[in-house]
Amino acid sequence: MIDNPFFSVKELACKGTDLCDISDVFMEKLIAVRKKFNTPMIITSGYRHPAHNSAINGAPNSPHVYGRAVDVAVHGKDAYRLIRIAMELGMTGIGVSQRGAIENRFIHLDDMPNGEHPRPWVWSYK
């Protein structure tokens, strides 16, 4: 993982295995987003080992298993601002979870290429 002052290996590592296989290209984009966002970003999910992803019923081809996605705890105006910045700086997948308790709200960011879904792609979670 690219050394940086914003994100630690621990916060980006798989919650089930402690492995951290984040793509360097993705990290460069994430760091650029963080710099422009100019606000700490709490990562609730980073890299996911395929076995852990399966155990938590994650999508089989989730960008998390490729080390190309994070979920950021954020809500309200900051969520809106994060989405705008992420799109400007090359994130191609934006998942929006902004319902329910504030502490459970997040924005998913990834930089996957065209594949299962045409990119860029924005979706909301149920």
Q: pLDDT tens across 24-65, in order?
A: 999 999 999 999 999 999 999 999 999 999 999 999 899 999
CATH class of the structural domain 9-124: alpha beta
DSSP β-bridge partners for residue 94: 109, 122
Element (H, E) at 75: none
Beta strands 106-110; 69-73: pairing state: antiparallel
Tell me the per-residue pLDDT of 72-117, one tens digit each, with 9 for 90 and over.
999 999 999 999 999 999 999 999 999 999 999 999 999 999 887 7
Domain residue spans in the chain? Answer: 9-124
pTM over 0.85? The answer is yes
Q: Which amino acid makes up residue 64?
A: H
